[in-house]
Amino acid sequence: MAIREILKRRAPLINLMRSRRAKIIGKQIFIAHSSRDKYIIKLIEDNLENIGVRPFLAGRFMAGKPAIFKIIDGIWDSIAFFILWTKNVTDNPETRDWVSFEIGIAKALADVGLLSIYGWYANDTKLTDLLKGITDMVQFNPYDKSECEWVVKTMIKIAQTL
């Protein structure tokens, strides 16, 4: 039996174990992003923390284990996965590759019912094939303060339902 089928069959039990762990360590949402998007990242971080949800921002949790393991653990421990796809992601090959890797891991978990993915992409970027497979992708203008605030409010509403 393929690993995918095993995970699908065991998804309810795995999700129960993960929810119990979240009660112990607190709710966490993984944010795939560029650290250059400082304004909106700060808004997201502050607002999620205000409702008791810890944002996992990979660049801040990289001390210790190799980055690849920190990212996988961060996604696994999260109750949701938020994508913030901007020019700062697409224009930096290293950032784009890391964010694409994070999305790939999240999609693998979402495909077997273990993670929900939500995404926002800047109106000056194009959806890649990787992103086109995610149904909850919403376009926004990252240069408009009110639209950034709307993205954050939407993230908070989603986080509150999880």
pLDDT in tens, 38-64: 999 999 999 999 999 999 998 766 567
Cα 69 to Cα 73: distance, rounded to the nearest angstrom: 6
Cα 139 to Cα 101: distance, rounded to the nearest angstrom: 21
Ordered structural domains, the chain, with CATH? 30-161 (3.40.50.10140)
pLDDT tens digits, residue range 67-87? 888 888 889 889 899 999 999
Of residues 120, 106, 122, the one with CA closest to residue 153:
120
- Give the pLDDT confidence score for residue 110 in this predicted structure: 87
Tokens of 119: 């995404």
φ and ψ at residue 139, rounded to 5 degrees: -85, 145
Cα 68 to Cα 73: distance, rounded to the nearest angstrom: 9
Q: What is the pTM of this model?
A: 0.84
Q: How confident is the model at residue 22 (pLDDT cuts 50, 70, 90)?
A: low
